[in-house]
Amino acid sequence: MSFIEIKNLSKNYVNRRNTKRAPDDPEQPGEMKVLDDINLEFEEGEMVCILGPSGCGKSTLLRIIAGFDTASSGEVIIDKEKVTGASSDHIFVFQQNGLLPWMNVWDNVELGLRHMENEEEKNERIQEYIDLVELNGFEYNLPCQLSGGMQRRAELARALAVKPDILYLDEPFTGLDYLTHLKIREEVVNIHEYIGKTMIMVTHFIEDALVMADRIIVFSERPTSIKMARKLDFSRPRNINKDPGLSELRDEIFLMLGVSYVA
């Protein structure tokens, strides 16, 4: 039995604006099928990247696994327990604005540790993770006083500080400039090597998936099904251009997603 199991999971959205459908349409009137009978398994400690065309429901799936959203049918089982809501053992790193903007970096990192009884231990832990993401000196800055990359690192610190079993990353590099993107990607890879926690990342950057993932899952267009699931046994650090296996896989995924030529 795997650490995370997704069984026959489907998700329909009610689309109020579009209630007229063709008579031979198998879907219910006004319903939009986003996820169609998804079955997936994740092993403990695995870093999985989910790719797919935009609007394919990959973020929706992640939000259902995290317990923020409910499935229309099917279930998610984590460590033998059915997911019914969010849990502080599984932390979600948001695409944007995940920090509470009225709290400084320190207070944000403290969120997950606020029930720790030993004040000294707690403060040490907060400082440890702020240092880990190299934000020392910015403890008392509000999120709006930080750059996009620093905000993302602060959120990572907040997520990691609770020592979660699972980290969900929803397009965590979106909106960052290219260099910051690469740097934070490297940090996430290092963190994964260092703490070895299960990570599930949704992204639309194919290169990120190739560099980071133990396994890549490619989703089809709506209603979503799994088009490809591939284990990556390449050693890290990876270089897509120098490793023919990786660049071949990249071209294959690009082709699968409808892009035939990549410079």
Partner 1 sequence: MKLPIKPAIFYPTLSIVILVFVWEATIRLSGWSEQVFPGPVIVFKAFLELLLDGTLFNHSVASLYRVTVGFYLAAILGIPLGILLGMHRVANSMVNPIVQFLRPISPLAWIPLAMLWFGIGDNPAIFLIFLSSFFSLVVATAIAVRTINPIYFQVAANFNFSGKETITKVVIPAITPDVVTALRLTIAVAWLVVVAAEMIAVQSGLGYLILDSRNALRMDYVMVGMIVIGFIGLFLDLIMQKLSKQDWLATR
Lateral strand order in the sheet of 81-82: 31-42, 4-14, 73-78, 81-82
Q: Judged by CB, which is closer to partner 1: 98, or 223?
A: 98
Contacts of 53 (CB under 8 A, 6+ apart): 219, 220, 221, 257, 258
CA distance to 47, 57, 81, per residue, from 253 (Å) = 18, 18, 33
Q: CB 254 → partner 1: shortest distance, Å?
A: 31
Stretch that binds partner 1, among 31-39, 42-50, 81-89, 210-218 (CB under 8 A): 81-89
Based on the shown chain and the rule CB under 8 A, indicate whether residue 137 belongs to the binding site for partner 1.
no
Query: Considering the rule CB under 8 A, would residue 85 count as an interface residue with partner 1?
Result: yes
Site string for partner 1, 42-61 (x = CB under 8 A): --------------------
C-alpha dist (Å) from residue 144 to 92, 100, 133, 149: 20, 10, 18, 12
176: helix, strand or coil: coil
Q: Quick one: which of 3, 13, 94, 205 contacts partner 1 (CB under 8 A)?
A: 94
Distance CA 105, CA 166 (A): 22
Closer CB to partner 1, 82 or 236, in the complex: 82
Considering the rule CB under 8 A, would residue 102 count as an interface residue with partner 1?
yes
149 binds partner 1, rule: CB under 8 A: no
Residue 82, strand partner residues: 77
- Of 96 and 225, which CB lies nearer to partner 1 in the complex structure? 96
127: its two tokens: 């400082």
Least distance (Å) between residue 203 CB and partner 1: 18
Binding region for partner 1 (CB under 8 A): 66-68, 85-88, 90-92, 94, 96-98, 100-103, 111-112, 114, 142-144, 162
